[in-house]
Amino acid sequence: MIGILDIGMGNLRSVHNAVYQNGFDPVVVHAAAEFDDLTHLILPGVGNFSAAVPEIDTRQLRQPILTFVASGRPLLGTCLGMQLLMGVGEEDGIHAGLGLIPGRVTRLAGEGLRVPHVGWNVLNMTRPHPIYEGIKKGRDFYFVHSYAAVCEDGNDLLGSTEYGGPVTAVIGRANVVGIQFHPEKSQVNGLRMIENFCNWDGRC
């Protein structure tokens, strides 16, 4: 069963619809007790990293998420949810992410660069991954963000886009994968990535 984690800041409805459109019957989960029957967990997110971290901790979800990942079941983070997979976020202060993928989430910067990065942009798939199965090359994905992940280990960087230089778009380590863009807003390719995740056994 596919779980979509409610941390009080997610685009739950649109992510739920994207999973449902792929023929799955997802459940929105709110607490660790609901994780037992899940085969996959999606951590969606729209909002501020500094506001999301206290939500995770107040809801006592930090350790259950780590335990879920340790069980080998696949975890997908989307947009803010992807950023929360990292070690540290710098949005409105320094905050501890889940630390599933070492690195920091830092503000987009560049001479004359408009921030936030909003709109359709390319995805350069820099390393193979099951989530890319059947993805049509040359199509864009929809981004809305002011911060981006910087992975400590280059092996965790799976894809990037171009915005004042290369910007992290897809990250992954073992059974954890994160995508900076909004798959539910990225049309055919976004839906296909959601489908690929829901069919993934967590092994690369």
- Asked whether position 40 contacts ligand GLN by CB under 6 A, the answer is no
- Asked whether position 48 contacts ligand GLN by CB under 6 A, the answer is yes
- Asked whether position 53 contacts ligand GLN by CB under 6 A, the answer is no
- Closest residue by Cα to residue 141 from 114, 168, 165: 168
Compute the least distance from the CB of residue 9 to ligand GLN, in Å.
Answer: 8
How far, in Å, CA of 48 to CA of 146, rounded? 10
Cβ distance to ligand GLN smaller for residue 132 or 147: 147
- Edge-to-edge strand ranges of the sheet holding 176-179: 27-29, 2-5, 40-43, 75-78, 176-179, 166-173, 157-162, 124-125
Compute the least distance from the CB of residue 97 to ligand GLN, in Å.
Answer: 12
Query: In angstroms, what CA-CA distances link 146 with 21, 101, 134, 152, 183?
Result: 29, 19, 29, 20, 17
Tell me how far apart the terminal alpha carbons of the chain are, to the nearest angstrom. 20
- Asked whether position 45 contacts ligand GLN by CB under 6 A, the answer is yes
R_g over Cα of the chain:
15
- Asked whether position 184 contacts ligand GLN by CB under 6 A, the answer is no
- Asked whether position 80 contacts ligand GLN by CB under 6 A, the answer is yes
Quick note: the x/- pattern for ligand GLN over 104-133, rule CB under 6 A, is ------------x-----------------
- Which chain residues interact with ligand GLN by CB under 6 A? 45-49, 79-80, 91, 116, 144-147
Active site members = 79, 182, 184
